[in-house]
Chains A and B, each alone.
Chain A
């Protein structure tokens, strides 16, 4: 099984770019896909990225995802104040037969 580790917080200025990392503790994450979710305080999470790098309909291309080995990364360009939220990565753990979520990263747009 694996643990997904995210930085507790990141910050950047409006218009800038930020990346949020999601590191798996074990190579047992294997070829499993990583998803990313945005949660604005007081609201339900929203899917931003699935299958490592795909965006659902309606998600702007300012949001991007990548995965290499045990490291997944969410990128957000042209930051807006409305992007302030908590961001979670998630991946399926075959050994647990359960979804594992990272601890979440709070994005502050200064």
Chain B
């Protein structure tokens, strides 16, 4: 069974760094790109970017370029989404999803950024 299991909810202060994870199982990790999608409270879906687990080639939506970092660790079939300096506006649910299309999704990680 294909599964994408994300790390738990996080509460952080503005300016802090954070990395959330998406552990995959049930398929060959390097066969599918992994994407990250944001959903702010009460709002729609927004695409952040994607990564090819084979070689870690990454592309970002222009709206998120430079603000988040997507990476993988092939040895443990896990993808990551990282912030070096969080802002209150990063408060949202974040989903990882297998491409393409987005056929399998993680359960989501809620990130709350508040002073």
Residues of A at the B interface (CB closer than 8 Å) are 33, 35, 37, 43-47, 50-51, 56, 88, 90, 96-104
Contact = CB atoms under 8 A, between A and B. Distances in A.
A98 B95 contact: no
29 contacts: A33-B101, A35-B102, A37-B45, A37-B102, A43-B107, A44-B106, A45-B37, A45-B45, A45-B95, A45-B97, A45-B105, A47-B101, A47-B104, A50-B101, A51-B101, A56-B103, A90-B45, A90-B101, A90-B102, A96-B61, A98-B47, A98-B60, A98-B61, A99-B102, A100-B47, A101-B44, A101-B45, A101-B46, A101-B47
Interface of B: 35, 37, 44-47, 49, 59-63, 95, 97, 101-108
Nearest to A56: B103
A105 to B, nearest CB: 10
B62 A96 contact: yes
Contacts of A103: 44
Chain B interface, >50% SS class: strand
Contacts of B108: 44
A35 B101 contact: yes
A67 B9 CA distance: 38
A90 B95 CA distance: 15
